[in-house]
Amino acid sequence: RRAFRNRRGQREWNKYAPKPFESAEEFERETVKHIETTLARSLYNCDELAAYGGTALAFRDRLVIDWNKTQQNQTFADQKRVYYLSLEFLMGRALDNAMLNVGHKETAKQGLSDLGFRVEDIITQEHDAALGNGGLGRLAACFLDSLASLNYPAWGYGLRYRYGIFKQEIIDGYQVEVPDYWLDFNPWEFARHDITVDIQFYGHVNKYQDDEGKMVCSWEGGEIVQAVAFDVPIPGYGTPTTNNLRLWASKAASGEFDFQKFNSGEYESSVADQQRAETISAVLYPNDNLERGKELRLKQQYFWCAASLYDIVRRFKKSKRPWKDFPNQVAIQLNDTHPTLAIPELQRILIDQEGLDWDEAWSIVQKTFGYTNHTVLPEALEKWSVPLIQHLLPRHLQIIYDINLNFLQYVERNNPKDRDLLGRVSIIEESNPKMVRMAYLAVIGSHKVNGVAELHSDLIKTTIFKDFVKIYGPDKFANVTNGITPRRWLHQANPRLSELIASKLGGYGFLKDLTLLHKLEAYVDDKDFRKEFQEIKYANKVRLARHIKEVTGVSVNPSALFDIQVKRIHEYKRQQLNIFGVIHRYLAIKKMSPEEKKKMTPRVSIFGGKAAPGYWMAKTVIHLINEVGRVVNADKDVGDLLKVIFVEDYNVSKAEIICPASDISEHISTAGTEASGTSNMKFVLNGGLIIGTCDGANIEITREIGENNIFLFGNLAEDVDELRHAHLYGNFQLDKELESVFDAIRSGMFGDAGQFSALVNGIVEHGDYYLVSDDFASYCKTHDMIDEAYKDQEEWVTKCITAVARMGFFSSDRCIDEYAEMIWNVEPLQPKADGVDGANG
Ligand code: 475
């Protein structure tokens, strides 16, 4: 480092940095060099995987230069930064994104072609980085893309799981989970073996008087696990800003303890210790919208929070500023309650290690954190048992109790007559065992709490956090409607549509300012534009049909209406409503005359998504979909009128093929249950229409694109309680058409009926919690309207184009600007053209 500290040294250093590829030949030279040397492959056995490796490394070289400069620039500027704490980052593939952001994809395409490869085949060699379950994890990935693209100084912090979300195989119609070991070759991460943090677990708390007579606590004993940093560059679009995603891996601490064992001959047990430490970051918990309270999960959470906070605090302390400046330099956003332990951890650092008073520390903590809630489903709200926290994190439990005491005293002072209130809002639930309510701790320890779509943000204020609105006032609660990155979800997933739009809008500016799409409305009647728009949709459907043929063997007609529901399988998302609707349609077709059949709109019903491995009802839904597909797809009476497909192993890279290929996509959750949804945005942005309930962001999508351009159905959130009550205590009548669907299932039409009895009985006998029966008639009627609407292709394409033109609001760039202004109070930092003079020291 020293050697290049002066200005001359800087210039010397700079002149050796890789420059942008100037020709295909230059790209080839570097790619081949990486293949031969970095990867040690001979050109005689250079397959597509090796070509991927060489290409990725050649692009990575450019990325790393911008990354280093960005980090230097941010250190030097020393302004407020954002830290996004998320247990999940569902990144997908990186190479295509790196090519887009570094530039020169065309050069690489030419170069690869000279070497005998097609760029598309090379890009698809990459293994998805699948460190997430669904919406929450993919949102974090879109946010990182927007933060970098908008030049915000921001870091992501997460865990480096050795196994991401499992791979799904469908065997005999059942989901089978296969481990996703994804790290064999990952050119996008940099192990920082010199950046480690020792993380403590278990042990006990000692209380004593210090030299000045003040009572202090210290957490002692227990065991230490080491956190090792792995850094992933996050490039922005249209800017050299390249931010950092830091993922922590766990490792046994190399203390004397191990050596003692080693020397006393306990080699095997010392290796076992090593492995036990490594299990902390071994595997992503595969539950979406569900918390199961496992001890290892709590260990993961603390391990990651403690390592990240140590890192953030260390960076702050280098600035030598007073502690009261901490919230002016640091904004930490909690992606759901999973990182809530960061709140007592920061309080512990400030009072036990830095010697601040409780109140001074607590005011810093509250100003530092913001908390985003992503679900109101009761089974997803995190609670940890007091005995478990006591055992694993004894000092944190004390601090949580003290936070609670202070909070309840504050509540009592302001609401002296309301005794019940104290019990309701206490962080500690007085159950057996007692439980710590993490969402309450997150609300109390943050300065802003936000929901992810308007309805959801309203609901949290009237349901789970109602009392807190009374205590803190409404201003503590905000809404930031979710968004998606148009780079991946328009340009990368649908390059032809992106190109068409660019040709009309005079360039790719809409990828930086998505509201520019509104100019497309001027082309809604333009014949050539409409024709091309339709051709692109058709080509995308052909691409998906080809994929379906390859993996399922079923041929589907690309001219049929493609009706798609892809998302995690969950009762509240109601894939069961969809498949019952499909059965209803099948039964109708079976009764049709040839004339009636001629008038039918042919359909392909496409499903995809993973069920949590322990979620039997969700697995039963997958099984039913596959059984219905087996029967329907083989039925000669039906032919092209209906096909039912389950796309195995839905993930980010499959979504990039699927989203551009829909005519209709399904977002049909029971009203009030889907916080936002984000795939709804992806489908519309790619020129497909929606069938949906008045739930989550569907409501704002409707407001933006107009109610003529969306197919809404079903009961409203405000009526759900009443309807549920009627199921249990009223005189409830099962929908007649749904009854016929159940009769068909019971007859064994789709195989042994016993396998599906829980699914049917949940509706017929056990209260139909998700209101499938209540919404069934309206759902089927709406699908009939869709059939009719699709017959008028001119009107249909008008709707699709209008909708695309009005989707500008749903960019994650808009979303990030709202967080920056309303919650973080951070400013972008303009990148420097050539690093920072003198900042190498
Ligand atoms: C919502 N995951 C979507 C999306 O805001 C929303 C919870 C507990 C444990 C493990 N995973 C979770 C979620 O809660 C989740 O993914 N929520 C989703 O967040 C982004 O668009 O409606 O369901």
Cα separation, 147 vs 80, in Å, equals 14
Residues 476, 491 within the same domain: no
Residue 832's pLDDT band (cuts 50, 70, 90):
confident
pLDDT of amino acid 114 = 96
Flag whether pLDDT at 836 surpasses 50.
no
Q: What is the ipTM of this complex?
A: 0.99
Is residue 46 assigned to a domain? no
Is residue 121 assigned to a domain? no
Measured in angstroms, how far is the CA atom of residue 612 from the centroid of ligand 1?
13
Flag whether pLDDT at 641 surpasses 50.
yes
| Ligand 1 pocket, CB under 6 A | 133-136, 139, 287-291, 336, 374-375, 380, 452, 482, 674-678, 696
Residues 258, 351 within the same domain: yes
Strand order in the sheet with 561-566: 642-647, 603-608, 561-566, 664-667, 689-692, 711-712
Residues 535, 435 within the same domain: no
Residues 134, 190 within the same domain: yes
Per-residue DSSP letter, 217: E
Residues 441, 568 within the same domain: no
Spot the catalytic one: 60, 573, 584, 667. 573
pLDDT of amino acid 834 = 62
Measured in angstroms, how far is the CA atom of residue 453 from the centroid of ligand 1?
12
Give the number of the atom of ligand 1 that is nearest the alpha carbon of residue 285: 10
Residues 285, 373 within the same domain: yes
Residues 441, 375 within the same domain: yes
Spot the catalytic one: 682, 724, 799, 806. 682
* Backbone phi, psi, residue 450, to 5°: -130, 150
Tokens matching residue 205: 């708390």
Q: Where are the alpha helices (DSSP H) in 235-385?
A: 256-263, 267-278, 295-318, 326-329, 342-348, 358-368
Residue 268's pLDDT band (cuts 50, 70, 90):
confident
pLDDT of amino acid 839 = 34
Q: Which among 87, 131, 136 is the best mutation to test ligand 1's pocket, defined by most ligand atoms within 8 Å of the CB?
A: 136
Measured in angstroms, how far is the CA atom of residue 254 from the centroid of ligand 1?
37
Decide: 153 and 605 in contact? Cβ < 8 Å: no
Is residue 546 assigned to a domain? yes
Cα separation, 518 vs 505, in Å, equals 10
Flag whether pLDDT at 837 surpasses 60.
no
Domain edge (last residue) among 480, 509, 541: 480
Give the number of the atom of ligand 1 that is nearest the alpha carbon of residue 675: 22
Q: Which residues make Cβ contacts (< 8 Å) with residue 716, sequence separation at least 6? A: 671, 694
Domain edge (last residue) among 436, 454, 480: 480
Question: Is 167 marked active-site?
Answer: no
Decide: 116 and 172 in contact? Cβ < 8 Å: no
Task: Give CA 247 to chain center in angstroms.
Answer: 16
Mean pLDDT of 336-358: 98
Flag whether pLDDT at 838 surpasses 70.
no
Residues 443, 579 within the same domain: no
Alpha-carbon distances of 785 from 214, 502, 520, 713, rounded to whole Å:
74, 33, 27, 11
| Most distant CA pair in the chain, distance | 95
Question: Is 678 marked active-site?
Answer: yes
Cα separation, 815 vs 69, in Å, equals 26
Residues 552, 614 within the same domain: yes
pTM over 0.95: yes
Domain edge (last residue) among 480, 504, 525: 480
Instruction: Give which of 231, 64, 234, 56 is closest to 141, Cα–Cα.
Output: 234
Q: Which among 131, 142, 340, 375 is the best mutation to test ligand 1's pocket, defined by most ligand atoms within 8 Å of the CB?
A: 375
Flag whether pLDDT at 841 surpasses 50.
no
Calculate the average pLDDT of the chain: 95
Give the number of the atom of ligand 1 that is nearest the alpha carbon of residue 288: 11
Cα separation, 316 vs 801, in Å, equals 49
Spot the catalytic one: 34, 167, 374, 603. 374
pLDDT of amino acid 257 = 53
pLDDT of amino acid 727 = 94
pLDDT in tens, 411-463: 999 999 898 999 999 999 999 999 999 999 999 999 999 999 999 999 999 99
Nearest CA to ligand 1 atom 21: 677
Residue 6's pLDDT band (cuts 50, 70, 90):
low
Question: Is 568 marked active-site?
Answer: yes
Flag whether pLDDT at 732 surpasses 70.
yes
Q: The dihedral of CA 37, 41, 46, 47: what is its sign?
A: negative
Residues 472, 497 within the same domain: no
pLDDT of amino acid 272 = 86
337, amino acid identity: T
pLDDT of amino acid 255 = 63
Is residue 837 assigned to a domain? no
Cα separation, 301 vs 158, in Å, equals 10
- What is the number of structural domains in the chain? 2
Question: Is 654 marked active-site?
Answer: no
Mean pLDDT of 614-633: 98
Spot the catalytic one: 69, 491, 530, 567. 567
Q: Which domain holds residue 339?
A: 80-93+128-480
Is residue 170 assigned to a domain? yes
Nearest CA to ligand 1 atom 15: 136
pLDDT in tens, 514-539: 999 999 999 999 999 999 999 999 99
Residues 464, 518 within the same domain: no
Is residue 1 assigned to a domain? no
Is residue 779 assigned to a domain? yes
252, amino acid identity: A
pLDDT of amino acid 265 = 74
Give the CATH number for residue 246: 3.40.50.2000
Flag whether pLDDT at 835 surpasses 60.
no
Report the share of the chain in percent with pLDDT over 70: 97
Rounded to a whole number of angstroms, the CA Rg of the chain reads: 28
β-strand partners of 321: none
Q: Which among 88, 139, 159, 289 is the best mutation to test ligand 1's pocket, defined by most ligand atoms within 8 Å of the CB?
A: 289
Residues 532, 471 within the same domain: no
Measured in angstroms, how far is the CA atom of residue 302 from the centroid of ligand 1?
20
Instruction: Give which of 184, 385, 199, 214 is closest to 281, Cα–Cα.
Output: 199
Is residue 332 assigned to a domain? yes
